[in-house]
């Protein structure tokens, strides 16, 4: 295994706020890694450090073996970055947005033409290539942001909340698009709030809260770390959750709590439960 994105004991302070705290992670080549965490957890800060927009207060980051601090340009060339908020030029057309990016990365006019043609086709945006980006729907804009990030043929793609605010159909279109890119050999690191997205898309996940990496593993490892079955019931105006190894234990506990005639539910644990258990946004025992 060959780690291509490495965070080593990375801490980032903004004045009194510690956005990221002693964060270490190695993403292997070809992995589809999902960074999951609530608002303000430090996800964007991590990506911004990896993409050299801001530097760590301590610790270091390497991209494909290159220390980001020492060789900014080398690291940048290997990265495609899709930020949380739009980086498109609204007044430029789709094709011009790609051209602009290509020029920034020193591609020749011929390379730009070939690459943008391929990418617009791949994104099914060829027909709209001469339309201004500002007239694109949210989903089309995200797609354009992704192909823009791919113009200089990076090996690693970093995406920050790429499907946030998109409807279910568009979210799935973006998922298929990302799956296809992974098949082509890209290493992908994305951040998301959507647990379904993390569960279906990512080969490995990291859960982060208050800048601290709390847990890493495959989606099923993270789920089973929480337990296999969950007993949920309504208590004192809140939903209480208890986790168990097996279904029988969950029902036994329901009986012990004499809630069998009340409103309760025993079901398999999902990623959302694991996430809630970890972030303790709801009362969990
Ligand atoms: N430039 C900055 N100056 C001061 N504080 C900052 C700055 N950038 C981020 N922070 C703080 O760092 C913490 C982490 O923010 P970050 O944007 O990385 O979280 P996030 O996980 O991306 O959140 P979201 O899911 O809402 O996008 C927050 O407390 C935020 O207020
Ligand atoms: Mg963010």
Tell whether 10 and 134 lie within a shared domain.
yes
Tell whether 105 and 182 lie within a shared domain.
yes
Tell whether 148 and 233 lie within a shared domain.
no
Residue 194 has pLDDT above 80, yes or no: yes
Tell whether 198 and 245 lie within a shared domain.
no
Rounded Cα gap, residues 201 and 208, in angstroms: 18
Question: Would residue 273 count as lying in a domain?
Answer: no
pLDDT confidence of residue 52: 85
pLDDT confidence of residue 219: 92
Length of the chain: 285
Q: Considering its fold, how many domains does the chain have in total?
A: 2
Question: Would residue 129 count as lying in a domain?
Answer: yes
Structure token pair of residue 170: 């568009």
Tell whether 43 and 182 lie within a shared domain.
yes
**Residue pLDDT, tens place only, 95-113:** 999 999 999 999 999 999 9
DSSP for 169-224 reads HHHHHHHHHHHHHHHTT-EEEEEES-HHHHHHH-SEEEEEETTEEEEEE-HHHHHH
Last residue of a domain, which of 165, 189, 222? 222
Q: How confident is the model at residue 71 (pLDDT cuts 50, 70, 90)?
A: confident
Question: Would residue 107 count as lying in a domain?
Answer: yes
Residue 277 has pLDDT above 90, yes or no: no
Tell whether 102 and 182 lie within a shared domain.
yes
Orientation of helix 168-183 relative to helix 138-149, angle to 10°: 20
Q: Which residues line ligand 1 (CB under 6 A)?
A: 14, 17, 19, 37, 39-45, 84
Residue 285 has pLDDT above 80, yes or no: no
Tell whether 70 and 30 lie within a shared domain.
yes
**Ligand 2 center to 40 CA (angstroms):** 7
For residue 132, give the 3-state DSSP assignment: strand
Tell whether 107 and 58 lie within a shared domain.
yes
Tell whether 191 and 257 lie within a shared domain.
no
**Residue pLDDT, tens place only, 147-187:** 999 999 999 999 999 998 888 888 998 999 999 999 999 99
Q: How confident is the model at residue 264 (pLDDT cuts 50, 70, 90)?
A: confident
Question: Would residue 274 count as lying in a domain?
Answer: no
> Average per-residue pLDDT in the chain?
91
Which of 39, 42, 55 for a ligand 1 pocket mutation test, highest count of atoms within 8 Å of Cβ?
42
Tell whether 33 and 171 lie within a shared domain.
yes
Q: Which domain holds residue 92?
A: 3-222
Task: Look up the pTM and report it.
Answer: 0.89
Question: Would residue 279 count as lying in a domain?
Answer: no
Question: Would residue 281 count as lying in a domain?
Answer: no
**Residue pLDDT, tens place only, 79-90:** 999 999 999 999
pLDDT confidence of residue 283: 42
Question: Would residue 284 count as lying in a domain?
Answer: no
Question: Would residue 275 count as lying in a domain?
Answer: no
The mean per-residue pLDDT over the stretch 222-236 comes to 85
Tell whether 210 and 245 lie within a shared domain.
no
**Ligand 1 center to 51 CA (angstroms):** 15
Last residue of a domain, which of 222, 245, 278? 222
70 or 103: which leads in pLDDT: 103
Q: Which ligand has its closest atom nearest to the C-alpha of 19?
A: 1
Tell whether 206 and 237 lie within a shared domain.
no
């Amino acid at each position: 295994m060959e780690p291509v994105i490495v965070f080593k004991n990375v801490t980032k302070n903004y004045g009194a706020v510690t956005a990221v705290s002693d964060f270490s992670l190695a993403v292997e080549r070809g992995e589809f890694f999902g960074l999951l965490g609530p608002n303000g957890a430090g996800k964007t800060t991590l990506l911004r450090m990896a993409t050299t927009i801001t530097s760590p207060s301590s610790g270091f980051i390497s991209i494909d073996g290159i220390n980001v601090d020492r060789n900014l340009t080398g690291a940048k060339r290997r990265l495609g970055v899709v930020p949380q908020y739009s980086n498109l030029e609204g007044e430029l057309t789709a094709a011009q947005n790609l051209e602009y990016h290509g020029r920034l990365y020193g591609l020749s006019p011929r390379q730009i033409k070939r690459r943008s043609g391929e990418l617009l086709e791949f994104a099914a945006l060829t027909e709209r290539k001469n339309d201004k980006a500002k007239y694109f729907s949210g989903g089309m804009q995200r797609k354009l942001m992704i192909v823009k990030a791919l113009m200089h043929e990076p090996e690693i793609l970093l995406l920050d909340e790429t499907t946030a605010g998109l409807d279910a159909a568009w979210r799935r279109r973006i998922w298929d698009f990302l799956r296809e890119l992974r098949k082509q050999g890209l290493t992908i690191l994305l951040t998301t709030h959507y647990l379904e997205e993390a569960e279906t898309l990512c080969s490995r996940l990291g859960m982060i809260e208050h800048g601290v990496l709390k847990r890493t593993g495959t989606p099923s490892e993270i789920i089973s770390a929480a337990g296999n079955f969950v007993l949920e019931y309504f208590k004192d105006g809140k939903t209480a959750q208890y986790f168990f190894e097996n279904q029988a234990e969950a029902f036994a506990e329901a009986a012990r709590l004499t809630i069998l005639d009340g409103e309760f539910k025993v079901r398999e644990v999902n990623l959302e439960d694991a996430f809630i258990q970890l972030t303790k946004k709801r009362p969990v025992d």
